[in-house]
Structure 1
Amino acid sequence: MMTRRGFLRFISGSLLSVASFSTYAVGIEPMLLTHVKRYALTPPNWPAGLRLRVVALADIHACRPWMSPERIAFLAEQANALQPDVIVLLGDYIAGMRLMAEPVAASEWASALSGLKAPLGVWSVLGNHDWWEDPVAQQAGAGPTVGGTALESFGIPVLENDVVRLEKDGHGLWLAGLADQMALLPGRDRSRVKGLDDLDGTMAKVTDTSPVILLAHEPDIFPKVSSRISLTLCGHTHGGQVRIFGYSPIVPSRFGNRYAYGHVVESGRNLIVSGGLGFSTLPVRFGVRPEILSIDLG
């Protein structure tokens, strides 16, 4: 039988544990030096002799104090130091969180990202919060968005259901960027969240047999991705923001933990989901540090 003193010790220890967890998850892990998560793979039918390093940044969610323009500029320096052939940005640059000291204007975070440099360029897609936090685009049901305009004004093209052909060491490759799958919130003319993505239309723009890398903010598109696409890169989930023993209690995906985080191979098709850099809804990270992806292909 537990004594009164024992009960009080138990309660005190529990409260201390909760306080310690909260302090770490809110104040420490989100601000840790960014982890570089490295992958190396050769997708099926990848051309022999094509060596490509892709560096990817996802889910910046710019806001003070956690993701200031100064920190974003530092992240750009870290990405450049990885000596990428190409850099890709996987969406959600805008905070999408009310619990913040101060928002960061699109011109500020886009200017910080303009420091990214790679021989084959820096390319981007938009995420759901880049649409949801833009009332004009929501009302119109279409772009341009404030975030997309800011990126392009600083020389970072936005691929929305579009492709670009690149070349390295005599080999061609395609980047295909998908418009957001959750772009438009329910409203007067919409009963549910509506996507603007068009995978078939995007792939119809690929005009030769060179490999394709698909950029899509949300990983839920992956079951529809054909083997024609060598690699799909996504963000959005933040690895669940809380990840314990490889499991995330809450994942913003209709597939739950299936596409929550990391390298997934299904039927020979490859997907990599970034744990991202910032957070949305709540400023909490535990077991999934902010990360930049460095992916060596071939």
Structure 2
Amino acid sequence: MRKLLAILATLAFLGAAFLGWCFREATSDPVVRRAEVAMPGLAQPLKIVLLSDIHVGTAAMGPKRLGRIVAQVNALKPDLVVIAGDFIFGHDPQGAAKLGPAMVEPLRALRAPLGVTAVLGNHDYWTGAQAVRAQLVRAGVTVLENSAALRGPVALGGISDDFSGHADVRATMQAARALDRPIVLVTHSPDVAPDLPADAHLLLAGHTHCGQVTLFGHPVAPEVSRYGARYRCGLVSEGERTVVVTAGLGTSAVPFRLGARPDVWLLTLVPAAIAPSQKAR
């Protein structure tokens, strides 16, 4: 009996240590991933920081941690900050009204000469898109929904979330083309990528959490993309198009991460004549 109790105690300790490690990884400061992307037609370099999946409402994300992340982003001195949706966590239709106010002050502190622009994610639509929009306005964040805006040397198009059925690629591209600049697109789910036209050279996305909890490189939970692992994580080059999928900052469901640390991307867009290929590190 004593031997059995000792084994059970050891297993309990190891289990608790494992969960503690996963929680620590989920709440760690994000890794800064950097890439240089050549953009045809670009007149001057542009530094963009990509964030996603804040998921206020879980134990992994509160205003203090979000404030630290904002300071980390500001230290990168980006020209433009882009947030690819899922500010809130959950399915409660009133969830955004309850949880969203906690993110307003931290996000208001983001600093970039060309501003902060965002799209909504599936959780934002599920928990109350109107409330999320209002909170982001209070935080000084511009929301694009199947529309576009001029941001320095690029036209930034925001495609609404495909996972929840709100995406309209055609309307977004029409709005972006009207601005007569190289087009950068941002959306929540990367699954719109195969349907993009040839002049959409760069797509920024989130949603996948890079698997969030992975064992030996394979996610424990089912893939959230209908393309499987194709757009699960990182920089994906497909012909003339680059897709960048961030692991995001928060978590979905359990407040754990393993093998998929939170990250932000610092993307330096350069004229194609200067850097004819993509580099990531």
What's the TM-score once normalised by structure 2's chain length?
Answer: 0.85
Contact 2:29 2:69 in 1 (8 A): no
1:181 to 2:162 alignment: yes
Q: How does 1:249-260 map to 2 (within 5 A)?
A: 249-250=220-221, 251-260=223-232
Q: How does 1:142-161 map to 2 (within 5 A)?
A: 145-161=130-146
For 2:181, the aligned partner's letter is S
How far did residue 58 of structure 1 move? 0.5
Q: Which residue of 1 aligns with 2:240?
A: 268
1:198-226 CA distances to partner (integer Å, 9 max, x unpaired)?
Answer: 10011111225421111110011111112
Larger deviation: 268-277 or 103-112? 103-112
Match of 1:291 among 259, 263, 277: 263
Contact 2:201 2:240 in 1 (8 A): no
Q: Which residue of 1 aligns with 2:67?
A: 73
Contact 1:64 1:104 in 2 (8 A): no
Contact 1:53 1:295 in 2 (8 A): yes
Q: Which residue of 2 aligns with 1:192?
A: none
What count of residue pairs does the alignment treat as equivalent? 264
How far did residue 88 of structure 1 move? 0.5
Match of 1:38 among 21, 34, 45: 34
How far did residue 12 of structure 1 move? 7.1
Q: Which residue of 2 aligns with 1:137?
A: none
Q: Which residue of 2 aligns with 1:187?
A: none
CA distance change for structure 1 residues 210 and 106 in 2, over 3 Å: closer, same or farther?
same
Contact 2:70 2:110 in 1 (8 A): yes
Structure 2 segments unaligned to the other structure (5+ residues): 271-281
Match of 1:224 among 190, 195, 200: 195
Q: How does 1:1-298 map to 2 (within 5 A)?
A: 17-26=14-23, 28-43=24-39, 46-47=40-41, 50-63=44-57, 65-96=59-90, 105-134=99-128, 145-167=130-152, 172-183=153-164, 195-205=165-175, 206-207=177-178, 209-250=180-221, 251-298=223-270
Aligned identity (percent) is 34
Alpha-carbon distance in 1 for matches of 2:57, 2:2: 45
1:246-274 CA distances to partner (integer Å, 9 max, x unpaired)?
Answer: 43243211111111100111132110000
Contact 1:68 1:104 in 2 (8 A): no
CA distance change for structure 1 residues 5 and 254 in 2, over 3 Å: closer, same or farther?
farther
Alpha-carbon distance in 1 for matches of 2:217, 2:182: 31
Q: Secondary structure at the match of 1:42?
A: strand
Q: Secondary structure at the match of 2:242?
A: strand
Q: Secondary structure at the match of 2:229?
A: helix
How far did residue 50 of structure 1 move? 1.9
Alpha-carbon distance in 2 for matches of 1:8, 1:64: 34
Report the structure number with the largest CA radius of gyration.
1
Alpha-carbon distance in 2 for matches of 1:18, 1:65: 19
Q: Secondary structure at the match of 1:257?
A: coil
RMSD value over aligned CA atoms? 2.5
Alpha-carbon distance in 2 for matches of 1:294, 1:104: 31
Contact 1:62 1:104 in 2 (8 A): no
